[in-house]
Amino acid sequence: MSDLYLSRIRNWFLSSPPAEWAINRLRETLIGSLSQGPIPGHVAFEMDGNRRYARSHKIETVEGHHLGFEALARVLEICYKCGVKVVTVYAFSLENFHRPKYEVDGLMQLAKVKLEQLIQHGELLDRYGASVRVLGRLDLIPPDVLEVVERAVAATSHNKTCVLNICFPYTSREEMTTAIRTTVEEYSTTPRPHSTPFSQSRITQKILSKQGDKNESLESIEESPSQPDDNDQDDAVSTATTLHSDPSTQKSEGSENVAIYPNAETITPETIDKHLYTAGCPPLDIFVRTSGVERLSDFMLWQCHQDTHIFFLKCFWPEFDLWHFLPVLVEWQHRQKQKQRDEKPRRVKQA
């Protein structure tokens, strides 16, 4: 009984205007101070624990997701005030489609309503200079929600200061596969020679008709090595020996243009980077997962497996606030400073 009274008194005190004012001053000061140090360029949040929070507080699951959205708004405010350029959040996994239908629908409706509001108050987001991007399999979003998503993305696309990436139906493996697929597509479609009124086939025909027999002999020399080569390639499955274009496509596409493919050997990790959903974002500095689960769960695998600092926090996502994010940020800054300190003597030694 006395506990209840105490917590009531505490709540009353904390919600009183002077206490609120003081806490807000404190927040502003902390955020302002931290932005004096190194600031991560890209932070990813895996918003885990909404349902478990709801269960432990005996509220409905959808209600838990609503509180999770409030936490997201809070975190975004902190990040953007600190000067973080890109925030990526995991809102919905492809695996989440296996959840009960009413929950999936609830999440979709939540997304729809929030994005609709965002469009209504477009100018509010402009103040942060934030643009919204939705990453993932957009084709799996229900059409009514997709329409809102597209409008929201279009309404904020002119903002350049910072980016909010919402991973909507997303898994990292799907992202990597898509990146591989689009890279392959790019490397197997010929960049069309800029359209000229001159037809290449006509020119070749003219040359052929003029030079007649001389050229035929030349051509036979040229083509003869390419045909056995072609057969060899059919047998060898994964050798990376062909550096030149393939003559067989020339035949299939007709004589209109010569298929010169970009060399597949020039594909680098950066090429894949460019085809990921997060193309153009700075490298991921901090990865935060809440609710004490120590797995990546198919989120940002390609982006975070190198030197990203990964933090697994115990709290549930709806509880997440400055007081949880602050230690993460300070520890990251501390490690950055240590890294710099370690690198300095090494550089001196090498010199």
Which range binds other proteins by CB under 8 A, 147-155, 194-202, 210-218, 236-244?
A: 236-244
Choices 145-153, 192-200, 221-229, 248-256 (CB under 8 A): range interacting with other proteins: 248-256
Please list the alpha-helical segments (H only) found in 42-120: 50-56, 61-82, 101-120
Query: Which amino acid would we find at residue 282?
Result: P
9, 337, 343, 344: which one contacts other proteins (CB under 8 A)? 337
Is 226 a binding residue for other proteins by CB under 8 A? The answer is no
Binder of other proteins out of 9, 28, 140, 199 (CB under 8 A) = 28
For residues 162-181, which are near other proteins according to CB under 8 A? 172-174, 176-177, 180-181
SS3 230: helix
**Which one of 242, 250, 258, 283 is in contact with other proteins (CB under 8 A)?**
242
Sign of CA dihedral 200, 202, 207, 213: positive
Identify the DSSP state of 191.
Answer: -
What token pair was written down for 81?
């005030």
Which of 294, 345, 349, 351 contacts other proteins by CB under 8 A? Answer: 294
By C-beta, is 206 or 314 nearer to other proteins? 314
Q: For residues 227 and 233, what is the distance between their CA atoms, to the nearest angstrom?
A: 10
> What residues does 34 pair with on adjacent strands?
none
List binders of other proteins among 94-113 (CB under 8 A). 94-96, 98-99, 113
Taking contact as CB under 8 A, which single stretch among the options 78-86, 136-144, 199-207, 215-223 is the one that binds other proteins? 78-86
Q: Which residue has the tokens 């709290």?
A: 315
Number of H helices, E strands in the chain: 14, 6
Mask for 143-162, x = binds other proteins (CB under 8 A): ------------------x-
- Ranges of H-type helices in the chain: 2-14, 17-34, 50-56, 61-82, 101-120, 122-128, 143-156, 172-188, 200-211, 213-235, 247-252, 269-275, 301-304, 322-350
The answer to whether 257 contacts other proteins (rule: CB under 8 A) is: no
- Stretch in the footprint of other proteins (CB under 8 A) among 122-130, 145-153, 208-216, 220-228: 122-130
Q: How far is the CB of 211 from other proteins (least distance, A)?
A: 31
Hey, how many other C-beta atoms are within 10 angstroms of the C-beta on 300? Answer: 25
Say whether residue 24 binds other proteins (CB under 8 A): yes
Which CB, 51 or 133, lies closer to other proteins? 51
Stretch that binds other proteins, among 66-74, 134-142, 193-201, 218-226 (CB under 8 A): 66-74
250: contact with other proteins by CB under 8 A: no
Residues 296-335 contacting other proteins, CB under 8 A = 296-298, 301-302, 304-312, 318-319, 321-323, 326, 330-331, 333-335
Report the residue from 226, 249, 250, 257 that binds other proteins according to the rule CB under 8 A. 249
Q: In the chain, what is the greatest distance between 2 CA atoms, to the nearest angstrom?
A: 108
Does position 232 interact with other proteins (CB under 8 A)? The reply is no
The count of C-alpha atoms lying within 13 angstroms of the C-alpha of 326, restricted to the half-sphere facing its C-beta, is 12
Per DSSP, the residues of 109-149 read HHHHHHHHHHHHTHHHHHHHTEEEEEES-GGGS-HHHHHHH
The alpha carbon torsion through 152, 157, 159, 161 (nearest 10 deg) reads: 100
